[in-house]
Structure 1
Amino acid sequence: MGGVMQLQNRIAKNVKTIRENKKLTLDAAAKQTEVSRSMLAQIEKGEVNPTISVLWKIANGYKVSFTSLVENHNQEPLIIRAEDVAPLVEDDGKYINYPAFPFQEDKLFETYRIQIEPHGFLSARPHMAGTEEYITVFSGRVEIITAEKTFQLGEGDSLRFFADAPHSYQNIDSATAYLSMLIYYTKNQ
Structure 2
Amino acid sequence: MEEIQKKIGEKVKSLRKLRQLSLDQAAIRTGVSKAMLGQIERGESSPTVTTLWKIATGFQVSFSSLIQEEESNISIVRKDSVTPIRENDDKYRVYSIFPFDARKKFEVFLIELLPGCHHISEPHPEGVEEYITVMEGSLTIEFAGEEHEIRKGESLRFVPNQTHTYQNKGSEVVQCHMIIYYP
TM-score, L = length of structure 1: 0.93
The CA deviation at 1:148 is 5.7
- 1:13 correspondence with 2:10: yes
Work out the CA distance in 2 between the residues paired with 1:6 and 1:145: 34
Q: CA deviation at 1:61?
A: 0.5
Aligned 1:153-164 pairs, distance under 5 A: 153-164=150-161
Query: Match of 2:31?
Result: 34
Q: Following the alignment from structure 2 to structure 1, what is the Cα–Cα distance between the partners of residues 179 and 42?
A: 30
**2:22 is matched by which residue type in structure 1?**
T
Q: Distance in 2 between matches of 1:148 and 1:106?
A: 34
1:169 equivalent among 158, 166, 171: 166
SS at match of 2:109: strand
| Alpha-carbon offset, residue 104 of structure 1 | 1.1
How many angstroms does 1:78 deviate by? Answer: 1.3
Runs of 4+ in 1 over 4 A off after TM superposition: none
1:103 and 2:100 correspond: yes
Provide the C-alpha distance between the structure 2 equivalents of 1:150 and 1:29, rounded to a whole number of angstroms: 35
* Structure 1: distance between partners of 2:6 and 2:81: 15
Q: Which residue does 1:56 correspond to in 2?
A: 53
**Alpha-carbon distance, 1:49 to partner:** 0.4
Unaligned 5+ segments in structure 1 are none
Deviation at 1:81, TM superposition (A): 2.0
Aligned equivalents of 2:90, 2:110: Cα separation in 1: 15
Residue identity in the other structure for 1:129: E
State the SS of the aligned residue for 1:79. coil
1:79 and 2:76 matched? yes
SS of 1:58's partner is helix
- Find the aligned partners of 2:103 and 2:65 in 1 and give their Cα distance: 13
Structure 2 partner of 1:45: 42
Q: Deviations over 1:41-72 (max 9, x none)?
A: 00000000000000000000001100111112
**Structure 2: where are the runs of 5+ without partners?**
none
Q: Which amino acid aligns with 2:129?
A: E
State which of 133, 136, 144 in structure 1 corresponds to 2:130. Answer: 133
Shift of residue 126 of structure 1?
Answer: 0.5
The separation in 2 between residues aligned to 1:81 and 1:139, in whole angstroms, is: 17
Computed over aligned residues only, the root mean square deviation of the Cα atoms, in angstroms, reads 1.2
State the alpha-carbon separation in 1 of the partners of residues 78 and 138 from structure 2.
26
1:65 aligns with 2:67: no
Distance 2:125 2:109 in 1: 18
Instruction: Indicate the percent of aligned positions where both proteins have the same amino acid.
Output: 42
